[in-house]
Amino acid sequence: MTDTITIPGYKAGTWTIDPSHSEVSFSVRHLLISKVKGKFEKFDATFVTAENPLDSTVTAKVEVASINTNDENRDGHLRTNDFFDAPSHPELTFVSTGIRYEGGDFLVDGDLTIKGVTKPVTFDLEFGGFQDDLYGNYKAGLTATTKINRNDFGVSWNAPLEAGGVLVGDEVTITIDLQASLQK
């Protein structure tokens, strides 16, 4: 592990999400032959980048009721206790516990809470870069990806299929595409 990392264009400070250029999405196997994809329409995050990038932090939250898989009936079912239990657990949260640089890759460790269950996860982080926008705002772009087993978080509903197997896969890929603005 390296003690200090240099990233071209990197600046220390507090960053907030630009929601019109960001997305929190997921995919999971359906019928074990294809993938259902969805996203959360309402989310927020704050990054505090330190002089040393490895000392930076992130906190994020997602509004469960904002789930959108392009199927109202499925979205309604996902909000129930069978899945996310939105009335009792209205937010998913993530709080970083550390950032590592290993083998040329940035890894963000943290605690993910879904349905009241908190587990450690690691996101693979890919920097898109840094750029001034047309209005003089300094922007950062990044993609963070992780895979979780939904059963680890108590999201365990399923239905057996006549031909064998189950309706919903256990592994969920979470992808976060973000553009953030450095606060002045």
Per-residue pLDDT tens over the stretch 78-96: 999 999 999 999 999 999 9
What domains does the chain contain, in order, with CATH numbers?
13-182 (2.40.128.110)
Strand ranges for 18-133 from DSSP E:
23-30, 34-40, 43-49, 57-63, 67-68, 91-102, 105-114, 117-132
Q: Which residues pair with 112 in a beta bridge?
A: 94, 119
pLDDT surpasses 60 at 142: yes
Q: How many whole angstroms separate alpha carbon 127 and alpha carbon 133?
A: 17
Look up the pTM and report it: 0.93
Q: What is the pLDDT of residues 39-92, one digit of tens each?
A: 999 999 999 999 999 999 999 999 999 999 999 999 999 999 999 999 999 999
